[in-house]
Chain A
Amino acid sequence: MSAVTAQRARTGIPSYLRMVPKRRAGLTAWQWSLVFLVLVCAAIEILARSGVVSHATLVPFTQMVYEAGVLLITPGFYASALFPSLFAIVVAFVVASVLGVILGYVIWRLPAVRRALDAYLTAYYALPVFALYPVLIAIWGQGTAPIATLAVIFAIVTVIMNAMNGFDGVPSIVDKLARSLDVSETVYFLRFFLPYALPSILVGLRLAFLYSLLSVLSAEFLLSTQGIGFFISTSYLRFQIGPMYGAVIIVVVIAVGVDRLLALLTRRVSWAGGTA
């Protein structure tokens, strides 16, 4: 062996091997999350009220919440902004989800097709699919149809990819079990196959919701006459930043809320521990 190295005075178990503490400075991780959120809201409040950031730019957090409340009790907001957007988002989400799972299954069953499509599916989200929006308007004119269609086109690929991922993970024993019980194709798919793939499918659905939301709002922002995106855009252009922030808060709550819900659902459904 080479030269004797000085005996490094190293005692104790290394820090990285020790158990992760449940608390830091007396607070749990979850409580720290709340602390950070509260600090940000407080910062917004103080910066806005003190005038450090101009009133034309930032509005106190409490006022943002108030504006959101005002909008939520204004029937006009529901009719011209909230419902059109939600309708488009929900329709697109449902269509993308159902069609995506079915298409995913079809492609998964045809390995040759899957191989041909694979490189493009993974590169799909580099494409600004959004750019097709004008084409869709040219075909359908203004309204919900082009917006929802665009959202479906945008969201469906992640459903397909994650569904195929889920189908990959179904152990072959399931097929053997079903065959030994002699079940029909539909029953097999719904009762045996799908539950195994469900966690991955839900991951895809969660992303599909986010992409539908993103797509719809972007389209409304750009070339529309209704919807929340349109509302935010016009509020900005009319220097009505109070209502603008209010609408932003509503969108944030919807986005984060539904996302968290789907995340929880995914965890509840991840019963297959290791294989899923």
Chain B
Amino acid sequence: MLLIVPVVVIAVWWVAALVANTSVITTPPAAVAQVIRMFGTRQYLNDLGATAQTVLVAFAFSVVLGAIVGFALGIAPFWMRAVGPILNGLYSIPKVTIFPLFMVFLGLGIVSRESFAFAHGFFPIAILIMGATVNVRTTDIYLKLAASLEMRPIQLVRIVLLPAVLPTFFTATRLGFGLTFLGTITAEMFASNGGIGYELVRAMESVHVDQIFAQVVLIGIYALIPNALLRWLEVWLTNRRGGSLA
């Protein structure tokens, strides 16, 4: 059941390739052959490493900072109302537009790309967690229960707020990974001399169609695998705690 979609996609792709010119669209087998060839080169493995490093650093920072900022704002509804709209506004600005600013301020190196990717993941994570936190924070029944048991604010956080927000944290993490990955590839496509994105742009510019398709397929796989992994992690942790997290 789960494999129907990929099968259909590959079938459509194959047909399109045969119908159109194979110098415009590669056939799936040709793409696979190219993938195998690419993995044989040291160059590609270096690129893969560079991209992975950028993604992981940006992802880690965006999850940690996004969760902290989101949670902190969610606990303080007044400041959420003050800062929330600014976060939403910054989120709605396409980071691509300000990509030159990253280059201008941080140069062309890996830090610049990591920051760019970080900016992609930070805002949605913070906004999602802020929303979930403020929801619990303003659920009267929990607050009254806590007060009746003489819970100190710190205990409210540990016993009510954090467990309630945990499911959203996982969702936000998965979303954040996808977005930081996207940000990394984009940065590498625009201004880099290494990384998967850079390879893709080179293939695009030299119109090396086999390369293009191989790269696209691989990038798709790279994006989907961590998503699935994070989902399995979430399920495993849920079962360890004995049942639903929420």
Contact = CB atoms under 8 A, between A and B. Distances in A.
Contacts of A233: 100
A102 interface: no
A109 to B, nearest CB: 18
Contacts of A221: 96, 99, 190
B198 interface: no
Given A210-B94, A255-B93, A241 B104 contact: yes
B204 A255 contact: no
12 contacts: A14-B147, A29-B81, A57-B105, A120-B5, A123-B227, A123-B228, A135-B216, A214-B96, A218-B96, A244-B100, A248-B98, A252-B93
A106 interface: no
A138 B209 contact: yes
Given A128-B182, A137-B204, 7 more contacts: A14-B150, A14-B151, A14-B152, A36-B83, A128-B185, A138-B212, A139-B25
Interface string A79-113: 00000000000000000000000000000000000
A265 to B, nearest CB: 15
Nearest to B24: A138
Chain B, interface SS category: helix
A131 B96 contact: no
Interface in A1-50: 8, 10, 13-17, 20-21, 24, 29-30, 32-33, 36-37
A135 B151 contact: no
B97 interface: yes
A153 to B, nearest CB: 13
Contacts of B153: 14-16
Interface string B1-28: 1101100000000000000100011000
Interface string B208-224: 01001101100110011
Interface residues of B, number: 68
The 10 closest A-B pairs by CB, nearest first: A126-B178, A29-B81, A134-B204, A32-B82, A236-B100, A259-B92, A214-B94, A126-B223, A29-B82, A131-B216
A130 B147 contact: no
Chain A, interface SS category: helix
B111 interface: no
Given A10-B150, A17-B144, A117-B5, A29 B185 contact: no
Contacts of B227: 123, 126
Contacts of B178: 123, 125-127
Contact of A248 (B20, B97, B182, B186): B97
Interface in A135-167: 135, 137-139
Nearest to A29: B81
Interface string B186-218: 100110000000001101100101001101100
A190 interface: no
B177 A126 contact: yes
A222 B201 contact: yes
Contacts of B177: 126
A260 B92 CA distance: 9
A119 interface: yes
Interface of B: 1-2, 4-5, 20, 24-25, 77-79, 81-83, 85-86, 88-89, 92-101, 103-105, 137, 143-144, 146-147, 150-153, 156, 174-175, 177-179, 181-182, 185-186, 189-190, 200-201, 203-204, 207, 209, 212-213, 215-216, 219-220, 223-224, 226-228
Given A135-B25, A256-B93, A232 B100 contact: yes
A251 interface: yes
Contact of B20 (A123, A128, A139, A259): A139
B186 A218 contact: yes
A197 interface: no
A255 B5 contact: no
A96 B190 CA distance: 26
A126 B222 CA distance: 9
Contacts of B25: 135, 138-139
Nearest to A249: B97
Contacts of B152: 14
B133 to A, nearest CB: 12
A209 to B, nearest CB: 9
B100 A21 contact: no
Residue picked from A30, A126, A134, A223, most chain B C-beta under 10 Å: A126
B101 A248 contact: yes
Nearest to B103: A236
A115 interface: yes
B152 to A, nearest CB: 8
